[in-house]
Structure 1
Amino acid sequence: MKPLKVFNVLSLIALLLSTGLNAQEFLVKNINILTLDDTSVKKDHHIHVKDGKIIGIYAQNALPGHLREVRQIDGQGQYAFPGLAEMHSHIPITETEDFSYIEDVMWLYLANGILNVRGMIGHASHLELKRKIEKGEITAPRIFAAGPSLNGSTVESPEMGVKMVLEHHQSGYDHLKLHPGLDMPRFLAIANTAKEVDIKFGGHVSLDVGLENSLTHGYHSVEHIDGYIEALITDKSRLDPQIAGPFSMLLVKEADLDKLPELVQMTLDTKAWIAPTLTLFERFFGYIPADEFRLEEEMKYMPGIQVQQWVNQKKLLENQGVLKAENVKPYLEFRQLLLKTLYDAGVPILLSSDSPQVFNVPGFSIHNEIKSMHEAGLTPLDILHAGSRNVAQYFNQDGEFGIIAKGASADFVLLSGNPLDDLNQLKNVQGVMLRGNWIEKEKLQAELNRIEKKNVRK
């Protein structure tokens, strides 16, 4: 008989911390599972989780005997689903070693059942954030980080565009975010280089480039459904921001809808994805006044100075007379029509709200987005797809996460009711399984309480 190998306890702990592994094993029992293959429910099931993976899913009468000894979490008839995503986040940055505010934002996401976050304003601290998450130093959703903004100011020439894409790729960013102000030579330098090194790119649509060129040259995601109104305007001289207003909202009645089918087909043909962020436009650019939003319950989780900045940004537009109901209502109705048209045609949608952004509190804003998507005509099932399996497919990781299935990452959320029957149930988070680590409701609430206390107005 070989002698047992004895590990020094401190060495073992150091090893686990260095690899980011917690080696936890759970049996989550007595739950109803939404696989989201369809609207059916697997009632009275158990999920076996070990080392960050789903090892097995069992009906009540088919549970292997040896699993009865595994640490158990009693779901008490709650509903398990793969969780949500925020696919357009402005993850805060830090220039120091202080990640405390970023950690607060991550807890706001988790407390709302958000397990995957795509950052859209890149910074080197986001790469460090990913490293800290992988090491287990920070508890947070899975992060996909964009590189720093590529726009008309930061990209001074096509050569600089090539250089920046290569630097972003080599640094380890997951995708590229483009902002307005690019002309065709600089845009093509970015697009061609990105395709050469195989890094996804997308974002806003520069006026000098246009939606058609953005799509045909490789845009992987169109943020805010940007560029569609501009593409539907025949007289391009009307696109002057002084005439068109923010995001061309004042020109919506001039849009030639006869051109829309061609644009939708082009979106399908180029396999582009849409990140709608409806709630951003309803709140930041909507006609409901800033002073009403500032009083909403979730604002207590944001620093007072941040909320005041949001108020100032929106009031600037209010004072200019841009956000009158007669200007905004047709625009918001058009955005819902546009999303529904793209959705009906089969263009894939990504759940996204743009947070933290003007009156979009991280985590909470996703529920506003879900409400707006449903009002636009998307089914609850497809809305949940937009925040789960669609995210994995977008990043070519289909089957690895975003689903509850054997072999997938152990990522799921327990709810007190079925969100396919009532989307408001998504707010009733009872616990989160995050890459095999169990976070109970009490912990989530404790973090919310801590953040609220930290931001009490004095």
Structure 2
Amino acid sequence: MKKLLLALFSLIFLSSGNAQNYLITNVNIVSMENEELLRNQAILVGDGKILNITSMSEPFDFDGKLVIDGKGAYVYPGLAEFHSHIPVAQNGDTQLQEEAMWLYLANGVLRVRGMIGHASHLPLKARIDAGELDGPRLFLSGPSFSGGSVSSPTQAEQMVRDEKATGYDHLKLHPGLEMDEFLAISKTAQELEIPFGGHVSLNVGLEASLKGGYKSIEHMDGYIEALIPDYSRVLDSKIAGPFTMLLVDETDLSKLPALVDLTLETKAWIAPTLTLFDRYFGSTPAEDYRNVPEMKYMSAEQVQNWINAKTPYEKAGVLTKENVQPYLEFRNELLMTLHEAGVPVLMCSDSPQVFNVPGFSIHHEIALMSKAGMSNYEILKSGSVNPARYFEQEGQWGVIKAGASADFVLVENNPLEDLNTLKEPFMVVMKGKIYDRDELKRQLDRIEANYKR
């Protein structure tokens, strides 16, 4: 089936684009409206939207429309990377940005939330929205609020107002904020109705962050710290280690149910980024990642920078298996405790951060979410329905139904049963525009050629 699909989609790509309505027949649909698989369906697409979905067993007449035989492929709404660091355009050079957009599309990642903002991200989003550049849906946070960028509550308030006026979709908070600065950010952001979230500053804490209106807790930050009885040990980085890794065995789990209840009460979301911790703070040596397959899409300099970022922790003896394993296991347990209680999860991998290549890293994240115990359906939901709900656009995208944006991916097997199939999309459709596997491969080959070792 794969060869037939590839040949067919190559022909389609050359002939369709956005030029006309088209019908995709003989497909099985994972709509994400529920866990039911819709078998033997046809999808009518026009003007960038899904116009209709019908069973192949029902009579229909689409005379004059381009018909694409899906050959039994499975269709789902694509994936999300909801904690990314979109590259910055240096002196007007947008190469890295454009490469990242193709890396996402080639992996079926159709929606991206940028979590460290820069002025060059706004024209990037505008070009994609206008159809001038190929890429996923972008949701942009502004420049981050941190101990380094915030100097007073008054300045923090003005920074919120400036980012809202500039057109950013979200605010990102980093560590180092004082309580009065955080409260100024919180009050102003809620007044202006712009969502915010991020890391939990040690002088603010998880409880105040949740009560103050955090919409997303990035990296599940703050939970471990809130469970440690002697908070003075958390404040000492030499004792606590990165992300309080070294104090996991001191957590008081009797405090966790109250934190879960507070998370639910305040309607906060979690962004786990499991693969960041597995690769950056895991016990696998940094050098082992130098030649993993997807590193060929990054410059040698970038890969070396990632190695340099991890190596000091290795030399300091922090990343031994004895330290790392209990920490990663605790994070998995924390994820499942929050998830099973009903806290919504966002699919994210913090790309391109240490050894997490855009697009490819989402598949590592998916494998780790599965290993932690999430079902295939819930994993897919974290990358489709949930991101749309997060930005109050539920039903507009992230689902396959009439009236929704035509954003979806075709794969060989049923992703409700086989998550590995997500790694090899036959076809990606973004706002109705078709990208076949040949085109996606051409783009990957082009990026690889830019970084020949």
Same fold (TM over 0.5): yes
In 1, the alpha carbon distance for the partners of 2:276 and 2:53 equals 38
> Counterparts in 2 of 1:207-222, with a 5 A limit?
207-222=202-217
Residue in 1 that maps onto 2:296:
300
Residue in 2 that maps onto 1:284:
280
TM-score, with structure 1 as normaliser: 0.94
8 Å CA contact 2:89–2:95 kept in 1: the answer is no
In 2, the alpha carbon distance for the partners of 1:383 and 1:194 equals 30
In 1, the alpha carbon distance for the partners of 2:82 and 2:317 equals 31
In 2, the alpha carbon distance for the partners of 1:117 and 1:243 equals 35
Moved more, 90-99 or 383-392: 90-99
Structure-2 change in CA distance of 1:98 and 1:22 (3 Å):
farther
Q: CA RMSD in A?
A: 1.0
8 Å CA contact 1:23–1:50 kept in 2: the answer is no
In 2, the alpha carbon distance for the partners of 1:88 and 1:114 equals 12
TM-score, with structure 2 as normaliser: 0.95
Residue in 2 that maps onto 1:248:
244
Q: Does 1:423 pair with 2:436?
A: no
* Partner SS, residue 434 of structure 2: strand
> Counterparts in 2 of 1:177-256, with a 5 A limit?
177-239=172-234, 240-256=236-252
The Cα of 1:63 is off from its aligned counterpart by 4.8
Of 350, 355, 376, the match for 1:380: 376
Percent of residue pairs identical: 56
Q: Does 1:406 pair with 2:402?
A: yes
Residue in 2 that maps onto 1:454:
450
In 2, the alpha carbon distance for the partners of 1:22 and 1:256 equals 56
The Cα of 1:22 is off from its aligned counterpart by 4.4
In 2, the alpha carbon distance for the partners of 1:244 and 1:403 equals 42
Q: Deviations 1:118-150 (Å, cap 9, x if unpaired)? A: 000100111111111112221000000000010
Residue in 2 that maps onto 1:364:
360
The Cα of 1:95 is off from its aligned counterpart by 3.3
Of 33, 46, 51, the match for 1:50: 46
Q: Deviations 1:340-372 (Å, cap 9, x if unpaired)? A: 000010000000110001000111100110011
Q: Partner letter of residue 426 of structure 2?
A: Q
Residue in 1 that maps onto 2:10:
none
* Greater relative contact order (CA < 8 Å, ≥ 6 in sequence): 2
Residue in 1 that maps onto 2:349:
353
Of 92, 95, 99, the match for 1:100: 95
Q: Deviations 1:317-349 (Å, cap 9, x if unpaired)? A: 111111111111110000000000000100000
In 2, the alpha carbon distance for the partners of 1:105 and 1:95 equals 15
Of 309, 312, 329, the match for 1:313: 309
In 2, the alpha carbon distance for the partners of 1:188 and 1:106 equals 35
In 2, the alpha carbon distance for the partners of 1:143 and 1:63 equals 39
Q: Does 1:268 pair with 2:264?
A: yes
Q: Partner letter of residue 206 of structure 1?
A: S
In 2, the alpha carbon distance for the partners of 1:22 and 1:109 equals 20
* Partner SS, residue 87 of structure 1: strand
In 2, the alpha carbon distance for the partners of 1:209 and 1:327 equals 27
The Cα of 1:23 is off from its aligned counterpart by 5.2
Q: Does 1:169 pair with 2:167?
A: no
Of 119, 126, 140, the match for 2:135: 140
In 1, the alpha carbon distance for the partners of 2:22 and 2:318 equals 54
In 2, the alpha carbon distance for the partners of 1:448 and 1:242 equals 42
Q: Deviations 1:220-259 (Å, cap 9, x if unpaired)? A: 0000000001000110110111110000000000000000
Unaligned runs of 5+ in 1: 1-20
* Partner SS, residue 402 of structure 2: coil
Residue in 1 that maps onto 2:324:
328
Q: Would you identify which runs of 4 or more consecutive aligned residues in structure 1 move more than 6 Å? A: none
* Partner SS, residue 57 of structure 2: helix
> Counterparts in 2 of 1:32-43, with a 5 A limit?
32-43=28-39
8 Å CA contact 1:110–1:140 kept in 2: the answer is yes
The Cα of 1:42 is off from its aligned counterpart by 1.3
8 Å CA contact 1:177–1:203 kept in 2: the answer is yes
* Partner SS, residue 129 of structure 1: helix
* Partner SS, residue 456 of structure 1: coil
The Cα of 1:28 is off from its aligned counterpart by 1.2
8 Å CA contact 2:172–2:197 kept in 1: the answer is yes
Number of equivalenced pairs: 436
8 Å CA contact 1:280–1:358 kept in 2: the answer is yes
In 2, the alpha carbon distance for the partners of 1:88 and 1:448 equals 22
Unaligned runs of 5+ in 2: 1-16
The Cα of 1:422 is off from its aligned counterpart by 1.0
Structure-2 change in CA distance of 1:237 and 1:407 (3 Å):
same
* Partner SS, residue 124 of structure 1: coil
